[in-house]
Amino acid sequence: DLVFQIGTAKYGVGDNKGQLSDKRLIEISAHDQVRMFEIKLSQGAKPGKGGILPGIKVTEEIARIRGIEPGSDSLSPNRDPDLETIDDILDRIAHIRTVTGKPVGFKTVIGSKGWLVRLFEACLDRGIDSAPDFITIDGAEGGSGAAPMGLIDYMGLPIHESLPLVVDMLVRLGLKDRVKVIASGKLITPPDIIWAFCIGADAVVSARGFMFSLGCIQAQQCDKDTCPTGITTHNPRLQRGLVVEEKAQLVANYVRNINKGIRLICHSCGVHEPSELDRNHCRIVMPNGRSVPLDEIYPIQLPATEE
The pLDDT value recorded for residue 255 is: 96
Give the contacts of 177 (CB within 8 A, at least 6 positions apart): none
The pLDDT value recorded for residue 305 is: 66
Higher pLDDT residue, 103 or 65? 103
The pLDDT value recorded for residue 145 is: 56
Higher pLDDT residue, 42 or 117? 117
Domain with 9 in it: 2-306
Calculate the alpha carbon distances from 11 to 19, 67, 71, 162, 206 in Å: 10, 7, 16, 28, 22
Q: Which residues pair with 284 in a beta bridge?
A: 292
Calculate the alpha carbon distances from 6 to 39, 192, 305 in Å: 5, 27, 36
The dihedral formed by the CA atoms of 51, 54, 60 and 63, expressed in degrees to the nearest 10: 30
User: Number of folded domains in the chain?
Assistant: 1
Distance between CA atoms of 226 and 244, rounded to whole angstroms? 18
Cα 81 → chain centroid: 21
Q: What would the pLDDT profile of 244-280 be if each residue is shown by its tens digit?
A: 999 999 999 999 999 999 999 999 999 999 999 999 9
- CB burial of 269-286 (b: ≥16 within 10 Å; e: otherwise) equals eeeeebeebebebbbeee
Q: What would the pLDDT profile of 93-124 be if each residue is shown by its tens digit?
A: 999 999 999 999 999 999 888 999 999 999 99
Cα 235 → chain centroid: 28
pLDDT score of 307 more than 60: no
Distance between CA atoms of 210 and 253, rounded to whole angstroms? 10
Residue 283 φ/ψ, nearest 5 degrees: -125, 145
Domain of residue 253, CATH code: 3.20.20.70
Higher pLDDT residue, 221 or 138? 138
The pLDDT value recorded for residue 52 is: 79
Q: What would the pLDDT profile of 158-211 be if each residue is shown by its tens digit?
A: 999 999 999 999 999 999 999 999 999 889 999 999 999 999 999 999 988 999
Give the pTM. 0.91
